[in-house]
Amino acid sequence: MYFPAYRPRRLRKNERLRDMIAETSISAGGLIYPMFVTPGKGQKEEVSSMPGIYKQSADNIVKEAVEAGKLGINSILLFGIPEKKDETGSEGYDPNGVIQKAVRELKKKAKGLVVITDVCMCEYTSHGHCGIIKQGVVDNDETIEYLAKMALSHAEAGADMVAPSDMMDGRVGVIRDALDDNGFESLPIMAYSAKYASSFYGPFREAAESPPQFGDRKGYQMDHRNVREAMREIALDIEEGADIVMIKPALSYLDVIRAAREEFDHPIAAYNVSGEYSMVKAAGRMGWIDEAEVMMEILTSIKRAGADLIITYHAMEAARLLNRSRK
């Protein structure tokens, strides 16, 4: 078909026609809202580099989680900020740790919400790295045993899903075995399968109080120049028992999401990370962009690339916008 017989603009001339043939759609139920849990009660502190995002005690986490549920958001992802940190991140697997307490409160008061917990040691270690340090480097094989303890403690607290984000080799299999051996064979794992050593994580590290105290994380997180390696990482996690695989970050890695979608018939999540969020917020506050339009364009691009689920700090704003557009 060629012009003038075929005129593509015919189906663009009004909003209803555009909606009828839209190839990609976003729903609140496909968004996962990340939240930062702190000790104590009545605590709520805005992250300076992430306007609208807070570090909160469990009581306030519950309130916001209930609100998220009312907006149609089905799931949240919890990150813990402990009262104290040590070399082995012991509060990460303490039955009375900040995450474990929050999970128990959420399961009592935010019924029906899928509570996902981040499984990594960086928030809990005094050195800020994602594992046990030996001779100046993260020891892979010892670290994965600690990660299994952490995941199991989250499961025992009532988590609906665990999400290992450390990028240690073999950790999905060890966590799967620990869960299965303790009666949690039905608990799913969402693996950070292709997590890149990215400069987009800066605001998150402020929020989670987890910058490495020496060196960097390039020895275990992925090199941003590689995509074929990401396919190998994803394949390994699926083989070890991951139920959902994740690409992180999302916006600068749309090609990786697309490659994964074409290669694997597995649910794919993508993490629209803190730096991506903060750039939109900063530009919006300066009046340089239409913040809401850019937010939805970014989320749509992530979905269009092949993600089934999007983890995003925009979740609450996007859900409100989607709800208004349906009325």
Find the CATH number of the domain harbouring 114: 3.20.20.70
Is 107 assigned a catalytic role? Answer: no
Model confidence band, residue 185 (pLDDT cutoffs 50, 70, 90)? very high
Show the domain range for 225: 24-326
Does some domain include residue 4? no
Does some domain include residue 297? yes
Compute how many other C-beta atoms are within 10 angstroms of the C-beta atom of residue 140. Answer: 18
Q: What is the pLDDT of residue 274?
A: 95
- Is it the case that residue 42 has pLDDT exceeding 90? yes
- Is it the case that residue 295 has pLDDT exceeding 90? yes
> For residues 310 and 250, is the Cβ–Cβ distance under 8 A?
yes
Preceding omega of 249 cis (within 30 degrees of 0): yes
pLDDT tens digits, one per residue of 259-272: 999 999 999 999 99
What are the b/e assignments for 269-283, b being 16+ CB within 10 Å? bbbbbbbbbbbbbee
325, burial (CB in 10 Å: exposed 0-12, middle 13-18, buried 19+)? exposed
Does some domain include residue 1? no
Does some domain include residue 10? no
- Is it the case that residue 205 has pLDDT exceeding 90? no
Is 195 assigned a catalytic role? Answer: yes
Domain count, the chain: 1
Rounded percentage of the chain residues whose pLDDT exceeds 90: 84
Q: What is the pLDDT of residue 55?
A: 95
Active-site residue, from 55, 85, 149, 248: 248
State the average pLDDT over residues 170-194: 97
Does some domain include residue 211? yes
Measure CA of the first residue to CA of the last residue in the chain; give whole Å. 37
State the average pLDDT over residues 314-320: 97
206 against 286, higher pLDDT:
286
Does some domain include residue 8? no
- Is it the case that residue 169 has pLDDT exceeding 80? yes
Active-site residue, from 85, 101, 195, 281: 195
